Amino acid sequence: MPQKREDGVYYVVDELAEYPGGHDAMIEFVSRNFRKPANSKPGIVLVNFVVEDDGTIRDAEIMKSLGKEIDDEALRVVNMMPKWKPAKVGGKVVAMVCNIPFIVK
């Protein structure tokens, strides 16, 4: 059953928002664009953002941090992503909350 926040952005949808070309294309985009800062430690940076009903990304924020430099880099990469295929509820496009983990080795 679809669930949403007070501002109308969905957490649970019928059809998930999707990066253009799918998951593998997103991993390729991140691999091509993410530049690990020199002094970063290993771990996971978790970025939360909204995919709008037109596919644009907004409100990217760090949910799990590894430090300012690497957090800023993860936000930079998310904010430069192309428009996604938006989520759907009942056949209608809607805004949806998404998360991406950046695994730093």
Tens digit of pLDDT at every position of the chain (105 positions): 779 989 999 999 999 999 999 999 999 999 999 999 988 889 999 999 999 999 999 999 999 999 999 999 999 999 999 999 999 999 999 999 999 999 998
* Measured CA distances, 38 to 24, 73, 104, 105 (Å): 26, 12, 12, 12
pTM, 2 dp: 0.92
Give the residue numbers spanning the domain of 63.
3-104
The number of folded domains in the chain is 1
Tokens describing residue 45: 């940076």
Tokens describing residue 71: 């957090």
Q: Considering only CA atoms, which of 105, 100, 103 is closest in space to residue 47?
A: 100
**Looking at residue 62, which CATH number applies to its domain?**
3.30.1150
